[in-house]
Amino acid sequence: MTQETPVKVLSLLGTAIASLFFLFAVSISNASFERMEQPFPDVFAPVKVVSVLDTAASGYSKFVYANLVLPAQQDYAFYADNISYAVAEASPAFMEMAGVSMPSVAQAMYQPRAQVAGASDQIVVSKYYPQSEGVFSIFYK
């Protein structure tokens, strides 16, 4: 026992920590050999562990949304708006410079669309909704 090896030091430290925990548990619960006045708190109870994990996950989620997702959405909207404006303004000049004419595409782009519910005859395909052709399309077939 005269040589201090890591195994001996760690075992003595482990014993000291275990005895300190035992004394802490006795003093917290005011226990004696006859009775225990207050139950010892179970810090690893599922109710406490899940609520702590849920609180931490919620905080992390809010942090990521506020510092990563929201700024990225705002930047994307700003750049998409500016780029679409630049493309819409510059495309006729580029097409004229290149000698390309696409009247059908231009007419389709700037053709006024109906603003009445049910006036659309476009087929809508989405992964969230089944395929449909509009409400009143069954009458026009």
pLDDT band at residue 41, thresholds of 50, 70 and 90?
Answer: confident
d(CA 111, CA 96): 20
Q: Look at residue 137 and tell me whether its pLDDT is greater than 50.
A: no
The predicted model scores a pTM of 0.33
pLDDT, tens only, 60-118: 999 999 998 888 888 888 888 888 888 888 877 877 777 766 665 555 555 566 566 66
Exposed (0-12), middle (13-18) or buried (19+): which is 134, by Cβ within 10 Å? middle
| 14-40 residue pLDDT tens | 999 999 988 888 888 888 878 878 877
Residue 141 has pLDDT above 60, yes or no: no
Going by C-alpha positions, the residue among 16, 17, 11, 41 that lies closest to residue 28 is 41
Q: Report the C-alpha gap between 25 and 14 in whole angstroms.
A: 16
